[in-house]
Amino acid sequence: MSGPLKGIRVVEMAGIGPAPFCAMMLADMGAEVIRIDRLTESLLGSGGTVVDRGRRTIALDIKKDHAKEILHKLIARSDVLIEGFRPGVMEKLGLGPDVCFEQNPKLIYSRMTGWGQTGLLSKTAGHDINYLSLTGVLHAMGQADRPPAPPLHLVGDQGGGAMMLAFGIVCALFEAQKSGKGQVIDAAISDGASTLGSIYHSLLEQGKWQNQREANLLDGGAPFYTCYTCKDGKYISIGAIEPQFYQLLLEKCELTDPIFARQMDKSAWPEIKQKFTELFKSKTRQEWCELLEGTDACFAPVLDFEEAASHPHNTSRNNFIKINGMTAPAASPRLSRTPATPGEIFKNGHHTAEILNELGYGNDDLEKFRQIGLIK
C-alpha cells in the first residue's frame, strides 16, 4: 500500500455502519488495517463488500481465552484501534482503554457509537434514522405534506460518524507524534450529524431558516433549488441560486414571464415552481441535458447508481473503478504526491494463519486453536 498513512497500523474490530467505512478510508490512504472478524458471517455477509477493501482479515472467536492474548499482542504493535460496540463491551472482553494503554501508551483508541460513550441514551440501541432524529437534521428533510423522508445513511453513519471518526484519528495521530501519548476518541453519530448541521443552526438564529420542510432556500422550498420530473419520468436537478446563474437558466429556457423575475420573493415561489414543473415535463431528461448540461445554469441530471458510473464526467475523472470485478467509487480526496490506492477485497479470515505467524504462533499453535474453535 502507498499513501500518506503508510506505516500506520490499524486494528479494526469488525462491525457494521460507520466503523468499517472509516477503516476503508484509512486503508485507501495507505494505512495497514487488520480487521478482527467473527467466525460466523455478519449481517452483511462474509467480507465481500466494496467497503471491506484494502485490509487483511483474521477471524477469531473473541470470547475464547486465547483470543484476548492474540488481540493484546496485535494491539501492542499497532497505532490505532477502531471499535464500534456498545459502551462497555470492550471492557467486558478485557480490551478496554486502560488495559490497552498499559501495553501501548501511544495507542489511538477510537470508539464509534450512535449516541456516544456517555449520556442518557448511551447504552440504548438505535440506527442512523434514530440518531438523526435527535439532531434536527431529519426533521428538515423531505416534503412538507408528509413525514420526514428516511435518508440514506450518508448524513449520519458516513458523514457524522465515519468521517468524523477518521478526522479524529488523524488529529490524534498528529498530536501523538509530539506528545508520545495516545488518547480515546469518543465519536458519536448524533454528535457528528449535529456538527454537520451547524450552518442551519446559524441560519435559524439569524431568522433565515423556518422549522418547516420545503419552506427554505436549500430544502426544496425554492423553485430554483429542487428536482423536477421530465417527460420520460426521469428527473433533473436545478440549483441556480446566484442571480447570474438563475438569469442564464431563464435565458436558456426562453422564459420571459415577469413572475420569474421575483426569484427571492417567497410569495412567488409556489407559482414559479408550478411553471417550472410544467416546463420541465415538456422535454425528456436527455433533451434537457442537451440544452443545459455544461452551462452555468447549475443543472444536472438525477442519475441512479448504475448511470452514475458511466456518466462522461465521472469516467473522465475515473471516479469509479473495478475491485474484484465489482464497480466501486474511487478513493477521495485526491492527493498529488501520495495518492490513495484502494486495495483488494478479501473474505473474512483470509489472512488468519499469516497474521498469527507474524505474531509468533507456529503451525502447532494454529492446529490447537482450530481444535478448540478459536479459528477455522
Residue 270 and residue 144 in contact, taking contact as beta carbons nearer than 8 Å: no
75/137 Cα distance (integer angstroms): 37
Give the residue carrying C-alpha cell 430544502.
219
Give catalytic status of residue 350 as yes or no.
Answer: no
3: Cα within 13 Å, side-chain hemisphere: 21
Closest CA to 90 of 195, 218, 179, 184: 184
What's the distance, CA 244 to chain centroid?
34
Give CA separation, 332 vs 26, 30, 243, in Å: 11, 12, 32
- 56, 354 Cβ separation under 8 angstroms: yes
Exposure pattern of 146-168 as b/e (b: 16+ CB <10 Å)?
Answer: eebeeeebebbbbbbbbbbbbeb
Long-range contacts of 255-261 (CB under 8 A, 24+ apart): 255/279
Q: Cell match 499469516: residue?
A: 354
**What is the per-residue DSSP string for 145-159?**
TSSPPPPPTIIIIII
Residue type (1 letter), 322: K
- Do the strands 225-229 and 235-239 form a parallel or antiparallel pair, or are they unpaired? antiparallel
Strand partners, 183: 108
Instruction: Out of 127, 139, 296, 365, pick the active-site residue.
Output: 127
Is 127 one of the annotated active-site residues of the chain?
Answer: yes
In our burial notation (b when 16+ CB lie closer than 10 A, e otherwise), range 322-345 reads: ebeeeebeebeeeeeeeebebbeb
> Which among 157, 186, 191, 219 is annotated as catalytic?
157
Q: Cell numbers of 230, please?
A: 421530465
> What is the helix (H) or strand (E) element at residue 117, kind and residue range?
none
Question: What is the phi/psi pair of residue 177, to 5°?
Answer: -65, -30
Q: In this structure, what C-alpha cell is assigned to residue 334?
A: 485526491
Other beta carbons within 10 Å of 82: 30
Residues classed as catalytic: 127, 157
